[in-house]
Chains A and B, each alone.
Chain A
Amino acid sequence: MERKSIFITATQINYFFVCKRKLWLFSHNITMEHNSELVELGSLLHKDSYKKRRKEIEFDGIKIDFFEKNKALIHEVKKSTAIEKSHIWQIKYYLYRLKELGINVEGKIDYPLQKKTESISLSDTDEMVISNIISKLKQILKEPLPPQKIAQKICKKCSYYEFCYA
């Protein structure tokens, strides 16, 4: 099944790392009702953190939490450090997409609850990895069936848990 939208969203990149099944379901609009406390907490955190510096950027499936123009720096705010790898590639994907537009910036992930930050930049290798991820991701979405359940510990916290294991 062909996806209408040509643009891969950051959420899709994130899910690519977390769970391919979640990626497939989400991309086919099988989304879950957002009533989990975790989701609620995430959106509250998003609303309340770094209010002063906030300047959201949105374009073609990309939504960057905030941008420091004078430092040429983009920020992504995250609740926990638990799924770091996906966070890193999410922001690298932003850098990749911005670079395509001729904008060279650096990135930072903020973990306000831990008072921690992590600097992210985009190397040549990263660019190759991302274009590889994009083609793999598109391949997954073309499959008629969703990928198998991953049966991992993280499933228990996932909003799709009941869907997958019912």
Chain B
Amino acid sequence: MKANTHFAFFDEGSKKEIRRATLKAVAIPGYQVPFASREMPIARGWGTGGLQLTLSLIGQTDVLKVIDQGSDESVNAVSIKKLVQDTTGVQLTECTEEADIIQSRHRIPECSLTKEQILVLQVPIPEPLRAIEEREYMTKRMHAEDDYSGAWLMLFEQIMKFGKTATTADHPVSVHDRYVMAPSPIPRFDNPKMDHSEALILLGAGREKKIYAVPPYTSVKSLAFEDYPFTVESFEGAHCHLCGAEGVFLDELIDHEKGATIYQCNDSAYCIEQLNKQEKVEVESTYA
């Protein structure tokens, strides 16, 4: 009665169908391609969209990295990695440069990706117009008619209310000057990394049954007005208390002994790499 799981969990037919939707997504940047999202052995809303993309793409020689909230060690990242490895036997890595496929939730790694890599982002709500219009039928029509007035109005209303745009993560972007797209809930800080990215970026929403993509070297503009330009999260004057990095996305932590706020690189792999580099320099200097 016990059946062996197929390579990469899915049957080949399912993989083919997901790849076909992916190809369409790449061909129409930012357009949400519907697909028959499969039930996965992890919960809907926990990254099944990303996981389906990863499983449909991965081959035996690929090297996989999974990040959740900037960390390779995060519980859900560990769980997803384990599932992919159990069903494929691929090599896992925490080093961003070594990975061919990087599946991530909420972050784009700090070091820039290359054209050899594919970034798979997990998306909870792919529809950038959902807050403006709850009906799928209507949002689809709005996309078709290039009607993004609602999205612009949302930003305008924020300026009227708060004196500035007050979007959080998932600030909408315009892809290839056509489709407005939810960049998955990455912080605004990561939005600019999508613009003319060398790596292919695939976005998968399992529960909402959509796949969309940013092909390499494609323009991605965060929606903003000329007089109220797009801004990212500010970490002015803050640096990582471990590696000293500035200009990266930082986590706010509390030093329990002193009660003070300290900062730490959110991208844990990047932080470790910085620390290793520093140690190398120290070691070399002592030898000299």
Chains A and B form a bound pair: no
- Chain B residues engaging chain A, CB cutoff 8 angstroms: none
Which A residues have a C-beta under 8 Å from some C-beta of B? Answer: none
